[in-house]
Chains A and B, each alone.
Chain A
């Protein structure tokens, strides 16, 4: 599903943020991406959803070589990749339902279909009763659940999460992770970047460890 071949990312003359990374993630896998701050976790995820381009190396996502992809094709790749951020990235002037439905709007879905599917996703993350709430009136955990609902509403084949529990307390962390495990159980390939080692110990899955841009462990 995801393949990286000797991928290096460097900003001008600075040391590489990612240094000759080669890895493969199969369809339906759940992978922890871990390492200290500055190890290159976020950069690696950004390369996967084409927010940045690699300095060298090849990246294949869902069978498509992103290096050879035209800028016009990027939005279509992103429709198959759900992304969840630590800071949620929700539109503050839209309700939870509108935020989730936003990802369907760009596909040209009808209003009825958008409403149905957005409500279904909000129900899955336990927030149907908050559908008409604005993000500012929701807790951090609720906002992250809305962000996950938005990432999943298109039923993407790949789900990327960058420190999705970084701003949440322990009790909320487990409920958020459960949503990611559920998505994985439904068939999505999930990569979660985290520096929280306790998560890895509690939920043992394949773990790729990055340090100074290099893969130092993959088990």
Chain B
């Protein structure tokens, strides 16, 4: 049995060697399909990581009643820290007007003409990852002395909507690319099988079972898929090395976290995907000829 398996493997390799052109076409097709699919998945994952980093540390600002004293405000801040385990900064009325003065720059002098300080004291809470800003904002709004809570709702909602849309688009696009890749690969391998239909006829004529006929083609398909995956991995590695450094720097600058990179686990996944696509494509292609 082992010698039969070894013979089939040897024959698959020999067939690839003897008919290099269809094999090269199949390998390039699989490589391109995997490259495009992986690049798409990688881009979507990066875009999502960027969005998550942007939306990851929203802050909640609680504007207090102007009548709340500084002592009461400090007490509220302490309560928030202990209850919600968030970082809280107290911005007093004086600090608020100073901040505004700095922001207004040369126009800051106009604030001196005001009869009093109209700005309320506020508490600025910075949320750790995973904390829902809406829920926290609602809980803060229930505290005594809190007049209004702002957590940049529109911004958070937009980012989340964008993330959802990106995920849906990404899933649909990936499914489409995968399906198209499988079709293209199956048709490419079918052409290679078609070129060898006479061999299939003769194999059946001398008493080969369907499994025996199919196996070398399936092994060839798997080998082509693996080679295609290696082509795709090489392409992605080249892009990462020569094209992405600038994009990665921009990503790190924009998100504050390192850019995602193509890891050895991704390589393994891609190699497995290529092998499976080649295997399935050739299985489908040969099955059609065996039925005929």
- Chain A contact residues, CB within 8 Å of chain B: 49, 72, 75-79, 83, 89-91, 93, 102-103, 105-108, 110-111, 150, 154
Interface flags, B196-226, vs A, CB<8A=1, else 0: 0011011111111110100000000000000
Interchain nearest-CB distance for A87 vs B (Å): 10
A93 to B207, CA, bound (A): 20
Besides A79-B207, A89-B205, A106-B203, 17 other CB < 8 A contacts?
A75-B208, A77-B207, A78-B205, A78-B206, A78-B207, A79-B206, A83-B205, A91-B199, A91-B202, A102-B202, A105-B7, A106-B206, A106-B212, A107-B207, A108-B1, A111-B3, A154-B207
Contacting pair B209 A102 (CB below 8 A): no
A147 to B212, CA, bound (A): 21
Contacting pair A102 B206 (CB below 8 A): yes
Query: Which residues of B are found within 8 Å of A89, using beta-carbon distances?
Result: 198, 201-202, 205
Which of under 10, 10 to 19, 20 to 34, or 35 or more describes the interface residues of B? 10 to 19
Contacting pair B3 A76 (CB below 8 A): no
Which one of B3, B202, B204 has the greatest number of beta carbons of chain A within 10 Å?
A: B202
Contacting pair A106 B201 (CB below 8 A): no
Number of A-B contacts (CB under 8 A): 48
Contacting pair A103 B7 (CB below 8 A): no
- Pick the contact of A75 from B198, B199, B202, B204 — CB < 8 Å? B204
Q: Which 4 A-B pairs have the closest CB atoms?
A: A79-B207, A78-B207, A103-B206, A106-B208
Query: Which residues of A are found within 8 Å of B204, using beta-carbon distances?
Result: 75, 78
B18 at the interface (CB under 8 A from A): yes
Known pairs A91-B199, A111-B3; A150 contacts B206 (CB<8 A): yes
In the complex, the chain B residue whose C-beta lies closest to that of A78 is: B207
A83 to B203, CA, bound (A): 12
B4 at the interface (CB under 8 A from A): yes
Query: Which residues of B are found within 8 Å of A103, using beta-carbon distances?
Result: 206-207
A102 to B204, CA, bound (A): 11
Interchain nearest-CB distance for B108 vs A (Å): 88
Interchain nearest-CB distance for B259 vs A (Å): 50
Interchain nearest-CB distance for A33 vs B (Å): 19
* CB-contacts of B50-79 with A (<8 A): none
Query: Which residues of A are found within 8 Å of B206, using beta-carbon distances?
Result: 78-79, 102-103, 106, 150, 154
Query: Which residues of B are found within 8 Å of A107, using beta-carbon distances?
Result: 207
A103 to B208, CA, bound (A): 8
- Pick the contact of B207 from A72, A75, A110, A111 — CB < 8 Å? A75
A111 to B11, CA, bound (A): 13
